[in-house]
C-alpha cells in the first residue's frame, strides 16, 4: 500500500511539472481562468481607482448600458453620478468585499465609507460619516464593461445622513 501511495505521488508530481491537464479539463481552461481574473481586476478598478480615488480610466464598451432600479443609464450618466459621489463624499473609500466571476459576468459585493462634507447628486453637506453596502453585477465584453446592474442601500444612506425619517410605527388595535 505504501508503494502505491509513493507511486501515485510521483506520477502526480511529474504531471504537475510537465503541465498535464487534469481529467475533464482542457488547455482552454487556463485561458478562461485568465480571462475571469482579468475581468475581476477590471471591475475592482471601478471601486479602487474610480470611486475611491477619482481616477475614471476603467475600460467601458461604447454601447455600455447601466441598470439602476427601473431606469437605465449611459456611461456618461454613470460617470456624472460617480463624480457626484466624490463631490458629496471627498474621502469616499469603497472596498471590494467579495468577487465571483463566471463566463462574462462578475459579481461584486462592496462596502462604501465616507464623510458627507460636500454636495453632489442632490445631497446637501451634512458632515455625517456613513457606511453602506451594495452589490453590482457586471457583464464584460472583450476586456471592457458592457453592462452593469447595481443595488445599494440607498435608504440606509439617507437615514445615516439624517435625510429620511424612520417610518412611524403602525397603530396597535
User: Considering the chain, what is the average pLDDT of its residues?
Assistant: 86
pTM above threshold 0.85: no
pLDDT for 173 equals: 57
85-120: burial string, b at 16+ Cβ within 10 Å, e else: bbbbbeebebebeebebeeebbbbebebebbbebeb
Instruction: Report the candidate in 65, 88, 91 with the shortest Cα–Cα distance to residue 76.
Output: 65
pLDDT at 10 over 90: no
Region 6-12: what's the mean pLDDT? 46
pLDDT for 44 equals: 97
Highest mean pLDDT among 17-21, 70-74, 91-95: 91-95
C-alpha cell at 64: 455600455
Amino acid at each position: 500500500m505504501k508503494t502505491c501511495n509513493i507511486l501515485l505521488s510521483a506520477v502526480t508530481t511529474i504531471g504537475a511539472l510537465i503541465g498535464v491537464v487534469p481529467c475533464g479539463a482542457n488547455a482552454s481552461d487556463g485561458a478562461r481562468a485568465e480571462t475571469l481574473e482579468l475581468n475581476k481586476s477590471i471591475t475592482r478598478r471601478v471601486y479602487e481607482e474610480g470611486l475611491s480615488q477619482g481616477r475614471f480610466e476603467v475600460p467601458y464598451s461604447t454601447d455600455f448600458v447601466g441598470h439602476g432600479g427601473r431606469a437605465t443609464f449611459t456611461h456618461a450618466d454613470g460617470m456624472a453620478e460617480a463624480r457626484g459621489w466624490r463631490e458629496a463624499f471627498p474621502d469616499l473609500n469603497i472596498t471590494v468585499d467579495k468577487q465571483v466571476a463566471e463566463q462574462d459576468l462578475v459579481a461584486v459585493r462592496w462596502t462604501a465609507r465616507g464623510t458627507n462634507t460636500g454636495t453632489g447628486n442632490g445631497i446637501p453637506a451634512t458632515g455625517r460619516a456613513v457606511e453602506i453596502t451594495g452589490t453590482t453585477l457586471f457583464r464584460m465584453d472583450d476586456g471592457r464593461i458592457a453592462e452593469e446592474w447595481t443595488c445599494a442601500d440607498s435608504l440606509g444612506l439617507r437615514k445615516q445622513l439624517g435625510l429620511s425619517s424612520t417610518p412611524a410605527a403602525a397603530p396597535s388595535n
